């Protein structure tokens, strides 16, 4: 049986397209045309996503905010498949911010964590890590999540650790400032224990950052493209070190309504830019 969230997404689309069969045909044609265009250009190796707008989307349909979160989870499955089909090697998703884990209402957090546990269980049951050859890494303050969810997190990381075709980072109770502070603390401890301060440079410091420490190269740790949905023009404490030279793309669609053409447009925009890396 379809979930309420999926039915709500379908209904939302049908209300827009129900009387326009020609519009659906044009949409499909445009989607394939975009895909052909994007396929001819460079595909970003690492895409980071801030999937914003679940609650606002649900409220715009007169539904409970939790329906929006469930729809957002289902959308993530679609978007990961689209990215992997395009050949993107690393995907980093802002699952929950540090501020979300501290400030959101308890009932909403319970629902989010239960949704997460359900998704991770399905990931294990369907052996998705083998199907896609993906290694999964969780970054953030994992001590803030419930024990049952943390157990699933550890299980997924363990089961997927030998795969290296693709990499999926899930930022959970994560904050960019917190990651940098944790790295500084670890570095200071090493200096106290004998590491020469003269050895410390950008390359050395980067190895103390959570996401950098397990990827096969430092270059893969820095997103080529960051996509944020819902029309908000900010980065919300996400990967502050890693996105110093990333290309940013802001999409007006709420996350549950993010379409394949929105992703293709984002990548096409990336392909048309000249990356200068600060030069």
Provide the sign of the torsion angle of the four alpha carbons 186, 146, 110, 132, taken in this order. positive
Catalytic residue from among 52, 54, 66, 224: 52
Decide if 140 contacts 172 (C-beta within 8 A): yes
* CA-CA-CA-CA torsion sign (219, 221, 226, 232): negative
Are the C-beta atoms of 111 and 69 separated by less than 8 Å?
A: yes
Q: Per-residue pLDDT averaged across 106-125, rounded?
A: 93
Catalytic residue among 66, 100, 169, 224: 100
Distance CA 33, CA 37 (A): 6
- CATH number attached to the domain at 4-271: 3.40.1180.10
Q: Is the separation of the CB atoms in 58 and 254 below 8 Å?
A: no
Burial 159-187 (b: 16+ CB within 10 A, else e): bbeebeebbbbbbbbbbbebbeeebeeeb
Q: Is the pLDDT of residue 2 over 80?
A: no
- Is 143 one of the annotated active-site residues of the chain? no
Crossing angle, helix 106-125 and helix 65-86, to 10 degrees?
40
Tokens representing 130 are 């083998």
54 is catalytic: no
User: Does 265 score more than 80 pLDDT?
Assistant: yes
The helix/strand/coil state of 54 is: helix
Tell if the pTM clears 0.95, that is, is over it. Answer: no
Chain segment 222-238, per-residue pLDDT in tens: 999 999 999 999 999 99
Q: What are the backbone dihedrals phi and psi of residue 175, each rounded to the nearest 5 degrees, phi first?
A: -140, 135
Separation of alpha carbons 135 and 46, rounded Å: 14
Mean of all residue pLDDT scores within the chain? 90
| Whether the Cβ atoms of residue 86 and residue 267 lie closer than 8 Å to each other | yes
pLDDT digits (tens, 9 = 90+) for 40-91: 999 999 999 999 999 999 999 999 999 999 999 999 999 999 999 999 999 9
pLDDT level of residue 207 (50, 70, 90 thresholds): confident
Taking CA atoms, 11 is separated from 5, 16, 123, 143, 259, in Å, by: 10, 9, 27, 39, 15
pLDDT at 9: 61
**Dihedral pair phi/psi, residue 263, rounded to 5°:** -65, -45
Inform me whether the pLDDT recorded for 239 exceeds 60: yes
Asked whether residue 14 carries a pLDDT value surpassing 60, the answer given is: no
């Amino acid at each position: 049986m379809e979930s309420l969230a999926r039915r709500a997404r379908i209904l939302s689309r049908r209300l827009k397209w129900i009387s326009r069969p020609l519009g659906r045909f044009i949409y499909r044609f445009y989607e394939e045309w975009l895909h052909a265009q994007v396929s001819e250009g460079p595909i970003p190796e690492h895409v980071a996503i801030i999937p914003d707008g679940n609650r606002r989307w649900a409220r715009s349909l007169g539904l409970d905010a939790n329906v929006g979160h469930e729809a957002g989870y289902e959308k993530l499955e679609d978007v990961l498949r689209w990215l992997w089909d395009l050949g993107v090697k690393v995907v980093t998703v802002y699952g929950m911010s540090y501020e979300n884990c501290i400030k959101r209402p308890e009932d909403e957090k319970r629902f989010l964590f239960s949704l997460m546990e359900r998704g991770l269980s399905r990931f294990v049951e369907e052996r998705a890590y083998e199907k896609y050859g993906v290694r999964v890494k969780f970054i953030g303050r994992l001590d803030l999540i419930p024990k049952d969810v943390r157990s699933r997190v550890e299980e997924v990381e363990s089961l997927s650790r030998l795969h290296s075709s693709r990499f999926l980072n899930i930022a959970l109770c994560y904050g960019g400032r917190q990651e940098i502070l944790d790295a500084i603390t670890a570095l200071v401890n090493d200096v106290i224990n004998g590491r020469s301060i003269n050895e410390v440079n950008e390359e050395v410091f980067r190895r103390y950052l959570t996401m950098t420490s397990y990827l096969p190269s430092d270059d893969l740790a820095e997103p080529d493209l960051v996509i944020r949905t819902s029309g908000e023009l900010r980065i919300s404490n996400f990967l502050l070190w890693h996105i110093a030279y990333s290309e940013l793309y802001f999409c007006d669609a709420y996350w549950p309504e993010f379409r394949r053409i929105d992703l293709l447009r984002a990548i096409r925009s990336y392909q048309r830019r000249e990356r200068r890396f600060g030069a």
